Amino acid sequence: MFKKILVANRGEIAVRVIRTAKEMGIATVAVYSELDREALHVRLADEAYALGGQTAAESYLNTDAILNALTLSGADALHPGYGFYSENTDFARAIGEIGVTFIGPPPEAIEVMGDKISSRIAATKAGVEGVPGTVEVIKSPDEVIAFGEEFGWPVAIKAAYGGGGRGMRVVNSPQEAAQALESAQREAEKAFGRSESYIERYLTWPRHIEMQIFCDNFGNAIWLGERDCSCQRRHQKLIEESPAPNFDDSVRQRMGEAAIKVARACGYRNAGTVEFLFQDGEFYFLEMNTRLQVEHPVTEAITSLDLVELQIRIAAGEPLGITQDQIKRSGHAIEIRINAEDPSGGKFLPSPGTITKFTAPNGFATRLDAGYIQGDTVSQFYDNLVGKVIVWGKDRESARRRMVRALDEIQIEGILTTIPAQQILLEKADFINATHSTKWVEGVEELKSLKVARPTSTDDQGNEVVARDVTAEVNGKRINVRLYLPEIATSVTSAPLAPGRKGAASPRSRSHAHGATGGSGKISVPMQGTIVKVSVNVGDKVDAGDTVCILEAMKMENAILADKAGEVTEVKVKPGDTVGTGDIVVVIS
């Protein structure tokens, strides 16, 4: 068994892995960016090493910095979590080349399945058919148009190297193809370090159902059960559950067997998830995620298996220790993702900031997996997943009611979250009757009228001498030190100061959201972030609703729109500029 595991990730998945490793008696190592010095995963680990930088590219996607942390720490294994480098073939190979075990599949399997194009080819060879789509990288918008004309609109552009809805764009007409392809490739490059994309038919009312599989080094392979992840916005999941409701067991068995065929086709080992689209009684291979999934706790809840522990044991060379007929599933589990987003109007805009209050739900069969606690800051530079609430019930309805109760208990202040939207969705008849699909959320009328108040906070002042636990770094290694210092008055606002901006940020009116400034022509941004594209120049004529620039925040691109027709008289930003909530970016006369 391993002596020390480095977790090359952050947030709730890093916390999740660290906890299981500690329970197994394995020492843990965290890595952190400049913005994550006091993050929960850093505080929980036995050791922590600085990666430097603020953005993901400068820190958690910095191979040299992570390899250096491995050398300094002496860790003999690395867990990649999900996102970042979890599905990067070159990174997995680099880890193996220095004699450290990568807790995941072999690089060859990542290469086949991490690339969504080659995974489609492999699945087809294994006898598992996918949704009609291309098996070549898109070279130009003309290919998107040609595919749409042949198979019908809409079509989906998808990142070849990634998942979680990042780098995916739905194209409804030939006129949208060029802009959609550019946006998808740009987002994929930032999220996964690769911009390659492919095209796929976009089904009309599908359910997203995925199968959890495990393979060991001795030829054993099992499927643990399926998860229904159909409740999504922007192709990213809001609510997940297991088992899938209204899902015939014969289909379940066939899907499990198909998932194993796909895994064996690429010589897979460790944890993996084979994703399918399900419509009209038929399922189609979508992709394989060669890593642990965000929603893995619902499978844990119904099987009583620790999937992270299974990952670690398989990577250490142990056999699975369980056969297909020994897997027992009981009850029903539901998970909601707590994302730092403003769900007002159903827009789900990023809402970075400092968490001023975080009260967890409790009770029977209720679990919280979080990467933050009260006082922590959710940065614009990373994914906006704050945590997850997972509940179990003897059946689906009891689990649903337990989740409704848990969400009534949880209290989070200082940021806006997706919880108000999820409370609405859990009570909708479509969800209760399981007649929803991946396209359902956008049509829920109650979300369109939802208004969530902006968070506010007050000054925390005092002059007492108090003990402070602070962090020092010696040769890149984190060391905790306790100092006795005067309490320093602080001021925290609902709009944190963006890096590179001078002065204290101040709260802005909600009337500035998404360029909606009452037709004044002074187009502002609704949250702090980075300008990645400016679509207009001084002198251009625009119509209300035209995109004037693209703002990236929390790994998501947001179109900032003109609020009236007219002529552009000022452009106050350029690509790469960091802006704060309410900043004016374009003026229209």
Number of domains in the chain: 5
Nearest to 207 by CA among 260, 251, 162, 157: 251
Give the residue carrying structure tokens 């730092």: 340
Report d(CA 211, CA 257) in Å as an integer. Answer: 10
- Domain match, 17 and 61 both: yes
- Domain match, 84 and 228 both: no
- Domain match, 316 and 195 both: no
Q: Which residue has the higher pLDDT, 173 or 469?
A: 173
The domain that holds 46 is classified in CATH as 3.40.50.20
What was the pLDDT predicted at 502? 30
State mean pLDDT over 88-92: 95
Q: Does residue 582 lie in a domain region?
A: yes
Q: What is the DSSP letter of 509?
A: -
Instruction: Point out the domain boundary residue: 306, 330, 354.
Output: 330
- Domain match, 218 and 321 both: yes
What was the pLDDT predicted at 561? 93
Nearest to 430 by CA among 446, 417, 419: 446
Q: Could you tell me if 55 and 73 are in contact, meaning their C-beta atoms sit under 8 angstroms apart? A: no
Report d(CA 5, CA 25) in Å as an integer. Answer: 11
Pair of tokens at residue 139: 């070279």
Q: Does residue 374 lie in a domain region?
A: yes
- Domain match, 169 and 68 both: no
- Domain match, 144 and 191 both: yes
What was the pLDDT predicted at 407? 98
pLDDT digits (tens, 9 = 90+) for 423-453: 999 999 999 999 999 999 999 999 999 999 8
The answer for residues whose C-beta is within 8 angstroms of residue 23's C-beta and 6 or more apart is 309
Q: Does residue 116 lie in a domain region?
A: yes
% residues pLDDT > 90 (the chain): 76
Mean pLDDT (the chain) is 89
What was the pLDDT predicted at 453? 83
Q: Has residue 238 got a pLDDT over 70?
A: yes
The domain that holds 368 is classified in CATH as 3.30.470.20
Give 131's pLDDT tier (boundaries 50, 70, 90): confident
Phi, psi of 406 (to 5 degrees): -65, -40
Report d(CA 422, CA 339) in Å as an integer. Answer: 11
- Domain match, 238 and 310 both: yes
pLDDT digits (tens, 9 = 90+) for 101-129: 999 999 999 999 977 788 889 999 999 99
Q: Has residue 383 got a pLDDT over 70?
A: yes
What was the pLDDT predicted at 537? 96
The domain that holds 192 is classified in CATH as 3.30.1490.20
Instruction: Point out the domain boundary residue: 186, 201, 216.
Output: 201
Pair of tokens at residue 317: 């060379």
- Domain match, 255 and 276 both: yes
pLDDT digits (tens, 9 = 90+) for 141-160: 999 999 999 999 999 999 98
State mean pLDDT over 71-93: 96
Q: Does residue 463 lie in a domain region?
A: no
Q: Does residue 473 lie in a domain region?
A: no
What was the pLDDT predicted at 579? 87
pLDDT digits (tens, 9 = 90+) for 471-512: 677 777 777 664 545 543 332 222 332 333 333 333 333 333
State mean pLDDT over 258-263: 98
Q: Has residue 464 got a pLDDT over 60?
A: no
By CB atoms closer than 10 A (0-12, 13-18, 19+), residue 581 is buried
> How far from 269 is each of 110, 183, 272, CA to CA, in Å?
10, 34, 8
Sheet holding 197-201, edge to edge: 169-171, 155-159, 197-201
Q: Does residue 37 lie in a domain region?
A: yes
Nearest to 448 by CA among 421, 473, 468: 421
State mean pLDDT over 317-329: 97
- Domain match, 81 and 139 both: no
Q: Which residue has the higher pLDDT, 292 or 479?
A: 292
Query: Which range among 100-114, 332-346, 551-565 shows the weakest confidence by mean pLDDT?
Result: 551-565
Residue type present at position 285? F
- Domain match, 92 and 9 both: yes
State mean pLDDT over 456-461: 45
Give the residue carrying structure tokens 């391993």: 2
Q: Does residue 241 lie in a domain region?
A: yes
Give 204's pLDDT tier (boundaries 50, 70, 90): confident
- Domain match, 417 and 557 both: no
Distance of CA 102 to the CA centre of its chain: 21
- Domain match, 65 and 191 both: no
Q: Has residue 588 got a pLDDT over 50?
A: yes
Report d(CA 459, CA 346) in Å as an integer. Answer: 32
The domain that holds 568 is classified in CATH as 2.40.50.100
Residue 242: which domain range?
111-126+206-330
Instruction: Point out the domain boundary residue: 290, 314, 330.
Output: 330
Report d(CA 18, CA 298) in Å as an integer. Answer: 19
Report d(CA 210, CA 337) in Å as an integer. Answer: 17
Q: Does residue 549 lie in a domain region?
A: yes
